[in-house]
Amino acid sequence: MVSPIPPSSASATARSNAPLFTIPDVVIRLAGNSQDGIQAVGGFLARLAGRSAQEVMTYMTIPSTISGGPSIFQVRIGSGEILSAGDRADVLVAFYQHSYESHRSSLRPGGVLLYDSDHVTPNPDDKEITAVGIPMTSATVEAVGGSSKEKGKNIYVLGLLARMFDLDVPKLSQLIKERFGGKNEDIVRNALLAFDAGYAYPAENLAHILFRLETPTPTVGGRPQITTDGNTALTYGLIAAGVRHGAGYPITPWSSIMETLRTELPKYGGIFVQCEDEIAAASTALGFSYGGNLAITGSSGPGLSLKMEALGWATMAELPLIVINVQRGGPSTGMPTNIEQSDLLQAIYGSHGDCPRVVLAPKNVEDCFYIALEACRIAREFSTPVIILTDQALATRIEAFDEPDLPKLMIEQKPDLSPRDASFKPYPLDQAQRHAPPGSVIGSGKYPTVTGLEHDEHGHPSASPAMHTKMTIKRREKIKSVATTFPAPELFGDQSGDVLLIGWGCTYGPIREALGRLRGAGATVGHIQIRHIHPLDGGLEEIFARYRHILVVEINDEGLYGYGQLATLLRSRYCNPAISSITKTDGLTYKVSEIVERVAVKLGLADTTVGMRKLSLLASALPTQK
Amino acid sequence: MSAPTLSPAVSSAPGTPRAPLTKKVLVADHPTWCPGCGDFAVLASFYKVLEKLNYPQEKIVTFAGIGCSSRFPYFVNTHGGHYIHGRSLPFAAGISLGRDDLHVFVFGGDGDGFSIGGNHLVHTARKNPRMTYVIMDNSVYGLTKKQTSPTSPIGFKSKTDPWGAFDQPINPMRTLINSGATFIARSHATQVNHMVEMMHRAALHDGFSVVEILSECVEFFEGAFDASIPRKGGSFQTIDLKKNDGSAEDAARHDPTDELAALRLALDPWPGKFGIYYENKSRPTKNALEQKLITNTREKTKNASDLELLSKTFARMR
């Protein structure tokens, strides 16, 4: 059943008699099991979009089971600004019956179901969608030849999608070659065979579902696009910021950062240590920092809890440290492969004692790179621990963005071992600590102790009530002054009016899209994504005063008093009764429609039609099935 | 480009000649220990060791965890500090691995080393970073005023076991040998010359070296180590090390490279013997292994600059 016609000519034949609709963007959801290589297909599509200067956003779930289990990857590609992975899919690829049954509801009315007819029997009475059965498994086995395994059906599906959306075949083939190029030639050949077979699937069966994505207007002189996930962007952000030392302990979804650092840092002359536990990891990283090399440790929720005593020490001893927390569903082991933003208060207040420290949150994958640079600048300048609160959604999703200008951004780090003069004090009351790493000659001849005990300006233990008061104020004012280095917060949409939407972390995209829809429906709405959680950006109070409602959108619980974690912080900081919460804890990122509907309900709008997802052009292009 | 900054561990002061390191220079704050505490003698011995080693003062690091003995760094005028309870080993490993030009000494008690930090002791030994750990064992929690410690003997009456402790105590030598530490010695705070010799040899060892020193707490466990103090009627028995001279008496001497022989010594009845139990000179340090990894990896990248490396990585994401 494999067509002998090579893809290029097959395409020409198909195109000649097929209806062809041009659409601005498409949401494709691939549903199968974790070992099916679904992420690889999603990754190919995302990278293709990146190379075509198209916007792309992805979303995936990975089972927390050791091997196997249902898994999905959703990719949205378009020529406009793509801010979220899409509420509902235009195309659902279902590998198994359970994939079909679990994800049929994610397909919008009028959408296309591509199912593996070797494994799936869809409901014949379901006329709301266009269902196309293709024997993906047997066709792949036949194409690759002789293989008893169905490995490669993901690439077969990639071929099908390439045909369906008239994707750039040479670029995709190139991506396949790059991806499998390091392995033996058979693997590359088999992958290309599977791809061609999918691409050559008899056109008449697909005739009514062939599309073309709008070509984006090329940007002149723009930087090349890169495509990557949040954990990778964050990792290389740290390397660009001059971090060469770190320590960690495995925990999902943080582990990929430590794996990359372990293999990458030696190339840069650095060391990453896998420690016996989270506490040892924080301690080893602090030991590196004490030696004069700003170091990084990281974890996910429960691991951050274990590091808290060490972080308290770092605040008292005033040593710099970068701590990454890739948030997941909690408490305890909770939902380790799901998103939740429930570690905000832990990050700010989790240690014992009065323990002020800096907490930052990146808003998208690109920002994961830049926030790493910012965190390292703050840690060095203020000799303080900085926590980066990222999350499972940012960690695993792939986005395309402009390649960073590395020659401008890269920072070199060397321990400052210059001799300190006789007036050197490790803990001056009127400024941030200037740590003298071992190896520095101390002019006074009195070598400093770095300590977790309350101490005087020379680092000597001091139980003086006056000294504890002064030092507590000093540590507090130091962290407060970090805010003076922040640029003004970026305000999107209306500069005053009905509603100001506040978010942090991975909710940036869906809130931005919701903003557009709400404004389209006639509401005056603004949006700020808070990247500086602690200390907060300056100027927020004045902005808040311009709106009737300030709605804080978060993926956490409203708690005992009815407010999410950031809302709690903002209410206590600004005492503004207009601040209220939109929260949820289903372990999933926000859909745009969820935010729009929740805002409409909050505002008491009788007409909630703004919450309805407008049918996309793809929907109107499809023949209605009756 | 951040080429590795690692250099050999034993550094001699280059350039201008320096005055030798003296006790006068090394003394810092006056110790806060109780009169009669064994830790005073350990401190005095450590000054002597540093004088003998004569490292550049600024290259010496003295760190500690929490406990009476962990006050140590305040009394030694070198770079150093006071970390959290039980975690000073992973902290010091970070110092040593990140800065191979330094000489790292860690001090702590039996609670720090064998209780709250027990797992770190095992894993630091497994990793074998270049540093020296001195455990001042008084078999009681002194700073918190007389609770049972992991080395308190069965029957010891403390505030947490007023009827006498009944949990099996840790055998430090056995624990250390099993952990894979590459230099293990035992000494006694009443034996200054022996302490100096043990700590000096530990400092010169290329790897993770540990010296356990019995150091009496006169306040909360008086007489704990009398069985090993001759002037109190006990006996201080040292370990005779093999000289490999082929003599008949040499056969009875201890071979510190023999792990099983070390274990047998560790199982001697209380108060046991003092000296070097085990020494492994062949296992590479983590410092050396990481450096080798860096050298090999950088060779593969043809010593590309940081910017070249990172630019290449981003180019692959296009």
Give B146's DSSP letter.
S
List the 396-435 stretch of A: residues with Cβ below 8 A of B.
403-404, 406-407, 410, 412-415
Residue with tokens 């972390």: A505
- Alpha carbon B225 to its chain's center: 20
Distance from C-alpha of A18 to C-alpha of A22, rounded to nearest angstrom: 13
- Vertex A123 angle, CA A142 and A2, to 5°: 15
- A443 pLDDT more than 50: yes
pLDDT score at B14: 52
User: pTM of the full predicted structure?
Assistant: 0.91
Mean pLDDT, residues A479-502: 96
List the 272-301 stretch of B: residues with Cβ below 8 A of A.
290, 293-294, 297-298, 301
Distance from C-alpha of A426 to C-alpha of A86, rounded to nearest angstrom: 52
For chain B, give the mean pLDDT: 94
For chain A, give the mean pLDDT: 88
pLDDT score at B142: 95
For the ranges A397-406, A456-465, B281-290, the maximum mean pLDDT occurs at B281-290
ipTM: 0.95
Q: What is the pLDDT of residues B41-56, one digit of tens each?
A: 999 999 999 999 999 9
Mean pLDDT, residues A292-306: 97
Cβ contact A240:A407 at 8 Å:
no
Residues of B in contact with A271 (CB under 8 A): 97-98, 290, 294
**Which residue of B25, B70, B83 is the best one to mutate when testing the A interface, meaning the one whose CB has the most A CBs within 10 A?**
B83
Domain B23-283 superfamily per CATH: Thiamin diphosphate (ThDP)-binding fold, Pyr/PP domains (3.40.50.970)
Domain locations in chain A? 7-213, 227-409, 492-611
pLDDT score at A554: 98
C-beta atoms of A438 and B73 within 8 A = no
Helix (H, G, I), strand (E, B) or coil at A411: coil
Sign for the CA dihedral angle at A412, A417, A423, A424 comes to positive
Mean pLDDT, residues B240-254: 93
Mean pLDDT, residues B204-221: 98
Distance from CA of A195 to the nearest CA of B (A): 21
A240 touches B: beta carbon within 8 Å: yes
Mean pLDDT, residues B32-40: 96
Question: How many CB atoms within 10 Å of residue A181?
Answer: 11
- A176 pLDDT more than 90: no
Fold for the domain defined by A7-213 = Pyruvate-ferredoxin Oxidoreductase; domain 3 (3.40.920)
pLDDT score at A63: 60
pLDDT band at residue A454 under the 50/70/90 scheme: very high
pLDDT band at residue B198 under the 50/70/90 scheme: very high
Q: What is the pLDDT of residues A5-14, one digit of tens each?
A: 333 333 444 4
- A487 pLDDT more than 80: yes
Residue with tokens 């929740």: A598
B87 touches A: beta carbon within 8 Å: yes
pLDDT score at A181: 77
Give A251's DSSP letter.
-
pLDDT score at A218: 62
pLDDT score at A9: 37
List the 253-292 stretch of A: residues with Cβ below 8 A of B.
264, 266-271, 273, 275-277, 279-281, 283-292
B7 touches A: beta carbon within 8 Å: no
pLDDT band at residue B167 under the 50/70/90 scheme: very high
Three-state SS string over A447-482 comes to CCEEECCCECCCCCECCCHHHHHHHHHHHHHHHHHH
For A496-512, give one letter per residue: b (16+ CB within 10 A) or e.
Answer: ebbbbbbbbbbbbbbbb
Question: What's the maximum distance between 2 C-alpha atoms anywhere in chain B?
Answer: 79
C-beta atoms of B91 and A286 within 8 A = yes
Give the gyration radius of chain B's Cα atoms: 21
Cβ contact A410:A60 at 8 Å:
no
Of B78, B94, B119, Cβ closest to residue A276: B119
Residues of B in contact with A280 (CB under 8 A): 87, 90, 119-120, 123
- Vertex A66 angle, CA A60 and A67, to 5°: 75
Question: How many CB atoms within 10 Å of residue A462?
Answer: 17
B95 touches A: beta carbon within 8 Å: yes
Distance from C-alpha of A581 to C-alpha of A555, rounded to nearest angstrom: 10
pLDDT: which is higher, A62 or A16: A62
B279, two tokens:
């020494």
Strands B183-188 and B208-214: parallel
Phi, psi of A271 (to 5 degrees): -135, 135
Residues of B in contact with A178 (CB under 8 A): 316
Mean pLDDT, residues B1-13: 41
Amino acid at the residue B313: T
Query: Reduced to 3 DSSP states, what percent helix, strand and coil does chain A have, rounded to the nearest 5?
Result: 40, 20, 40
- B18 pLDDT more than 90: no
Residue B127: closest C-alpha in chain A: A275
Question: What's the maximum distance between 2 C-alpha atoms anywhere in chain A?
Answer: 90
pLDDT band at residue A150 under the 50/70/90 scheme: low
pLDDT: which is higher, B58 or A337: B58
Mean pLDDT, residues A150-160: 86
A539 touches B: beta carbon within 8 Å: no
Give B137's DSSP letter.
E
Give percent above pLDDT 90 in chain A: 66
- Vertex B175 angle, CA B40 and B110, to 5°: 30
Mean pLDDT, residues A59-71: 68
Domain locations in chain B? 23-283
**Sequential DSSP letters for B215-259:** ---TTTSTTTTGGG-GGGT---PBPPBP--S--TGGGGSB-TT-H
Mean pLDDT, residues A470-482: 97
Beta strands in chain B (DSSP E): 60-64, 79-82, 103-109, 131-137, 140-141, 147-148, 183-188, 208-214, 275-279
Mean pLDDT, residues A383-392: 97
Q: What is the pLDDT of residues A202-223, one digit of tens each?
A: 877 777 778 888 877 666 567 8
List the 8-27 stretch of B: residues with Cβ below 8 A of A.
25
- A18 pLDDT more than 60: no
> How many contacts does A have with B, using Cβ atoms within 8 A?
198
Domain A227-409 classified CATH 3.40.50.970?
A: yes
- Alpha carbon B166 to its chain's center: 28
Give the residue among A563, A507, A574 at the shortest CA–CA distance from A537.
A574
- A75 pLDDT more than 90: no
Query: Reduced to 3 DSSP states, what percent helix, strand and coil does chain B have, rounded to the nearest 5?
Result: 40, 15, 45
Distance from CA of B151 to the nearest CA of A (A): 23
C-beta atoms of B81 and A290 within 8 A = yes
Give the residue among B76, B67, B72 at the shortest CA–CA distance from B138.
B67
Distance from C-alpha of A280 to C-alpha of A286, rounded to nearest angstrom: 10
A178, two tokens:
């790059």
Q: Is A105 exposed, middle or buried (0-12, 13-18, 19+ CB in 10 A)?
A: exposed
Give the residue among A514, A512, A532 at the shortest CA–CA distance from A614.
A514
pLDDT score at A615: 30
Q: Do domains A227-409 and A492-611 have the same CATH topology?
A: yes
Question: How many CB atoms within 10 Å of residue A575?
Answer: 9
C-beta atoms of A284 and B74 within 8 A = no
Fold for the domain defined by A492-611 = Rossmann fold (3.40.50)
Give the residue among A380, A370, A458, A369 at the shortest CA–CA distance from A412.
A380
Residue B15 gets the label, from left (phi > 0), alpha (psi -120 to 50) or beta, of: left
C-beta atoms of A406 and B97 within 8 A = no
pLDDT score at A81: 78
A492, two tokens:
């999107």
pLDDT score at A69: 81
Mean pLDDT, residues B216-221: 97
Mean pLDDT, residues A108-137: 92
pLDDT score at A148: 54
pLDDT band at residue A15 under the 50/70/90 scheme: very low
A31, two tokens:
């549903």
Distance from C-alpha of A447 to C-alpha of A455, rounded to nearest angstrom: 15
The residues facing A526 across adjacent strands are A493, A500
C-beta atoms of B90 and A295 within 8 A = no
Give the residue among B256, B74, B280, B120 at the shortest CA–CA distance from A287.
B120
- CA distance to A258, A344, A491, B16, B245, per residue, from A389 (Å): 16, 8, 21, 49, 64
Distance from C-alpha of A393 to C-alpha of B223, rounded to nearest angstrom: 61
Residues of B in contact with A433 (CB under 8 A): none
Residue with tokens 């001849």: A445
Q: What is the pLDDT of residues A29-63, one digit of tens each?
A: 999 988 888 888 888 888 888 887 777 777 766 66
pLDDT band at residue A611 under the 50/70/90 scheme: very low
